[in-house]
Amino acid sequence: MKNIKNLLSAAFVGLTFFTASAAFADEPNEVKLGVVGEHNEAWEDVVKRLKNEGVNLTLVKFADYTLPNRALNDGEIDLNAFQHVAYLKADVEAHDYKIEPIANTIIAPLGLYSKKIKNVSELKDGDTIAIPNDPTNGGRALKVLELAGIIKLDPSKGYIPTVRDITENPKNIQIYEVDAGNTPSLLPDVAAAIINSNYAVDNELNPTTDPIFSDGVGKVDLDNPYINIIAARSDNKDNPLFKKIIAAYQTKETAEIIKELYHGGEVPVFNY
């Protein structure tokens, strides 16, 4: 009887160990990260490094800025990394998304590009400039035009003015608002276009040397609304896997890839 009890006890211990091991093995390690554009070399490197840690990070590519937050909110992806703080804030307010930032990534200067002129002083009366049509990128684009001396804006509108907030437009510049992803294709047809750096790179434009004017980034304060971030659903923001992903991204390896690829067109905003 004693031997039977010992055998049963050993079997119970073995079963407990097996069950715990199986449960551990079944812990989820799959994460889907939404990105925009085709150039994601920094994230692709993170994917490879995380693979060695047993974390399977998959990049889900979207064609434009309007989709990744909806996909994240609806649970189609687990994280996204494509937007700055101001864009996220406006999108959350507009759609009541339950998502929020969990880590900083980069900040990118916003540039004015042209195939017809070399300097903003060459703009003629009535010329057209294309800008992104979403509120935050469009608002930032207008601030770039103001910084370049092309227009003046109502200062009370802060970081996100609209075309209705233009108070002075001495050259009667026509502002043409289009989807951010379409601004590069309009360069042959307009005097100039404001193009986000990721779309510039996708269209073989150098965000550092090709713009005829840029807002630059200079010294970056951490409350700058144009810092890009990794976002998660509010009810899942403390997922331990996300901490591993953030740690893998915010490294010297990632920073070096960003610097090499963009030559100042994107600047890391994290300690490494």
CATH of 111-214, picked from 1.20.120.420, 3.40.190.10, 3.40.50.300, 3.30.9.10, is 3.40.190.10
Query: Has residue 9 got a pLDDT over 80?
Result: no
pLDDT digits (tens, 9 = 90+) for 228-251: 999 999 999 999 999 999 999 999
CB 102 within 8 A of CB 246: yes
Query: Has residue 63 got a pLDDT over 80?
Result: yes
Cα atoms found within 13 Å of the Cα of residue 11, Cβ hemisphere only: 6
The DSSP result for 150-198, as a single string, is: S-EE-GGGTT---GGGEEE-TT-PEEEEE-GGGTGGGTTTSSEEEE-HH
CB 212 within 8 A of CB 192: yes
- Count Cβ atoms below 10 Å from residue 128 Cβ, excluding itself: 15
* Secondary structure string (H, E, C) spanning 31-82: EEEEEECCCCHHHHHHHHHHHCCCCEEEEEEECCCCCHHHHHHCCCCCEEEE
CB 106 within 8 A of CB 269: yes
Query: Has residue 177 got a pLDDT over 80?
Result: yes
CB 267 within 8 A of CB 107: yes
- Count Cβ atoms below 10 Å from residue 161 Cβ, excluding itself: 23
Question: Mean pLDDT, to the nearest integer, of 186-202?
Answer: 94
Q: To the nearest whole number, what is the mean pLDDT of the chain? A: 88
- Count Cβ atoms below 10 Å from residue 29 Cβ, excluding itself: 14
> Which architecture characterizes domain 30-108+221-268 according to CATH?
3-Layer(aba) Sandwich (3.40)
Question: Mean pLDDT, to the nearest integer, of 58-70?
Answer: 95
Query: Has residue 111 got a pLDDT over 70?
Result: yes
Give 182's contacts (C-beta < 8 A, 6+ positions apart): none
Give 218's contacts (C-beta < 8 A, 6+ positions apart): none
Instruction: Give span(s): CATH 3.40.190.10, the chain.
Output: 30-108+221-268, 111-214
| Banded pLDDT at 122 (limits 50, 70, 90) | very high
Query: Has residue 11 got a pLDDT over 60?
Result: no
Tell me the pTM.
0.76
